[in-house]
Structure 1
Amino acid sequence: MTAPLLRQVDRLQSSQPSQDGDGVKIKRIHDFGGGLDPFLMIDELGSDRPDDYIGGFPPHPHRGIQTLTYVIHGGLTHEDHMGHSSTIRAGDAQWMHTGRGIVHSEMPLTDHHGLHAFQLWLNLAASEKMSPAEYRDVRGEEMPRLAGTEAELIALGGRWARDDGEAVTGPLNALAGNGGVAHLRLAAGGELTLQADAPTLLAYVFEGELQVGDTRVPAGQLARLSKGDRLAVASATGGQALLLAGTPHREPVAHYGPFVMNSQAELQQALRDYRDGTLTG
C-alpha cells in the first residue's frame, strides 16, 4: 500500500490593499491567469472603521462567474434584479450564480466587532457562462462541523473528510469546478489532518498563523498547495483560515471589471448587453 502523500506549500501569495464598490477598503488576492483555477479572487473586508466600508457596493452587473460571500462579523444586505432581498450575518453565507447576467447590490451592516467578511469569485465553465442566474443564502446553523484536536472545520460547500474517514458535506452543493469551501479554526495547540485529493487546494490564513505541512503561514497569506492526498494543519498559537478546493476548468479566461468570459469578443458582447439593457435576459 502506498503511503499517504502529505501536501506542502508550493507558493505563498500576500493579500494586497485595494478598494471596490463605493470606496470599500479590502484586502485582495486575484489570479486571472489560471493559477487558482477554478477560483479567481479572494476579497477580505475587515475593519472597525465605518468610513472604510459604509458606502458598500451599489447596484452593479456580473456575467460569467459565481460569488460566495461569507460573514465573520457584521452583515451584508443583498438585493438583485430578480427580486431577491436578504441579509446575512455572522456565520451566514450567500451564493450567487451570475450566469448570463445579474445586477445586484450589497450593503454592509455592523456588529460590535465592526465588519469582517469574505467574497470569493469562482470561474464558470464556458458551457455555464450563459446559463440562467441563481441566488441562495445559507444560515450558519445549516453548515456542518468536523472536529479535530482543539480544531473545528465548518463546511460551507463541498465534502470534507478527516483522515480517519469521518466526513461532512457543506450545503452549497453547486459551486463551480466541483468547488469546496470551509472555515478552519484552530486554538493554541490545535491540529487537524484531512483527506485532500482535490487538484486545486488553497489555504488563506486570515487570523493568527497556521503550520501547513512543513511551512508556517501567517495571516494575510494564501498558500497554494502541492499535489497529495492528505493535508495536515496545526497551530502553536491559534489561527483561522479559509480552505478552498476544486477542479480546474483549464479554459481561456478573459476578464474586464465584473465580467469574466473566455474571449475578448465575449467581453465586448457583455459590455454591449449591459449598455443595451439586455444583460439579464
Structure 2
Amino acid sequence: MTPTPIIRQVDRVITSQPSQDGDGVNIRRIHDFGGGLDPFLMLDELGSDRPDDYIGGFPPHPHRGIQTLTYVIHGGLTHEDHLGHSSTIRAGDAQWMHTGRGIIHSEMPLTDQQGLHAFQLWLNLAARDKLSPATYRDVRAAEMPTLIGRDAALIALGGHWQDATGDSMEGPLEALAGQGAVAHARLAAGGELTLTSPTTTLLVYVFKGSLEIAGTVVPQGRLASLGSGEQLALASREGAEALLLAGEPHGEPIAHYGPFVMNARAELEQALNDYREGTFIG
C-alpha cells in the first residue's frame, strides 16, 4: 500500500504590523532577521485606496546582500536604478532584483481606480553571493503559468510547483535565493488546493479572506509558518488569496542594518563605508 502523505501543519502564525518606509509610505510588514524564516527576511504589503498613504514612494536608496521581489495586485510601480534599468510593472507583473555587491534604485507608485496594492519580498543571499554583480529582471503576468485546482488557481512567479495529482509548472524566475519558489494562490468560496511541498521552509501569507491550512484557520494579514511534511493542503469557505513562499535555509549568520544584509558586523560597516566613499557600486 502507498503510505498516506504527511500533511504539513501550521507551526506558528505571525501577524503583519503597520509601519512606514520610503517617503512616508504606509505598509504592513513581517520581518525576521534572526533566521526564523530563512531564506526569507521580510515581506511588506502596500495596500491603500488613499494616495496620501503611498504617493511619496521610495526615492533612491541602496541595497547590498539581498534579492527583492516586487509583485503588483493592482496599481503599479516604476523602477529606476544606477545600472540604467527603467521600467514599470502593473497588475499581475513582478520585478526581481539581485542586489549582490550593491545597487541604488528607486520605486515610485502608480495608481488605478482601486489605488495601489503590491508586495515586496526580501530574500537573503548566501555568503558566497553577497558581493556578486547586481542584476535585474521584469516578469510580465503573461509569462507566469497557472495550476488549476478545485475552484482554485496557483500562479507561479518563480520556482517549481506541483499539485497532488502530479501536474507541475516552473515559474519564470529560476534564480531565487535559497532555491526559492513564490506563487500566488486564489481560492473561490469552497475552493481547495493540495500541493507537494518538499522544501524545508514553507510560508503562507493570507492577504484576502481566510484560509484553512490542514484544519487551522489563518485570517487575512497573517503569515503561517508550516512544519515538516510532504503536502500542503489549502481550503477556504469564503474565498481567499495568499502568497506562498518556499525555500531552503542558508543556515548562516545574519547581520542586518537598514538596506544592507550581510553575515558579520564588519561587513555592514564596510558596506556603509563603501556607500559614503562612493565605491559601493564599483
- Same fold at TM > 0.5: yes
Partner of 1:51: 52
Paired residue secondary structure (1:174): coil
Q: CA deviation at 1:225?
A: 0.2
Partner of 1:25: 26
Paired residue secondary structure (1:135): strand
Aligned counterparts, 1:28-39, within 5 A: 28-39=29-40
| 1:14-67 per-position Cα deviation (integer Å, ceiling 9, x unaligned) | 000000000000000000001100000000000000000000000000000000
Q: CA deviation at 1:168?
A: 0.7
Q: CA deviation at 1:197?
A: 1.3
The count of corresponding residues between Structure 1 and Structure 2 is 281
Whole-angstrom CA distance in 2 between matches of 1:72 and 1:111: 11
Partner of 1:177: 178
For the pair 1:130 / 2:143, whether they are aligned, the reply is: no
Whole-angstrom CA distance in 2 between matches of 1:3 and 1:232: 13
Whole-angstrom CA distance in 2 between matches of 1:213 and 1:127: 37
Partner of 1:209: 210
Whole-angstrom CA distance in 1 between matches of 2:214 and 2:110: 37
Paired residue secondary structure (1:119): strand
Q: CA deviation at 1:214?
A: 1.6
Paired residue secondary structure (1:131): coil
Partner of 1:257: 258
Partner of 1:232: 233
Q: CA deviation at 1:2?
A: 3.1
Partner of 2:187: 186
Q: CA deviation at 1:3?
A: 2.2
Paired residue secondary structure (1:59): strand
Whole-angstrom CA distance in 2 between matches of 1:213 and 1:123: 28
Whole-angstrom CA distance in 1 between matches of 2:148 and 2:210: 19
Whole-angstrom CA distance in 2 between matches of 1:252 and 1:98: 19
Paired residue secondary structure (1:6): coil
Partner of 2:161: 160
Whichever residue aligns with residue 162 of structure 2, its letter is A
Whole-angstrom CA distance in 2 between matches of 1:114 and 1:280: 34
5+ long unaligned stretches in structure 2:
none
Whichever residue aligns with residue 225 of structure 2, its letter is R
Whole-angstrom CA distance in 2 between matches of 1:64 and 1:79: 19
Whichever residue aligns with residue 110 of structure 2, its letter is L
- Sequence identity (%): 74
5+ long unaligned stretches in structure 1:
none
Paired residue secondary structure (1:278): coil
Aligned counterparts, 1:138-157, within 5 A: 138-157=139-158
Partner of 1:82: 83
Partner of 2:41: 40
Whichever residue aligns with residue 78 of structure 1, its letter is H
| 1:149-178 per-position Cα deviation (integer Å, ceiling 9, x unaligned) | 110000000111010100011000000000
Whichever residue aligns with residue 103 of structure 1, its letter is I
4+ runs deviating over 4 angstroms: none
Partner of 2:246: 245
TM-score (normalised: structure 2): 0.99
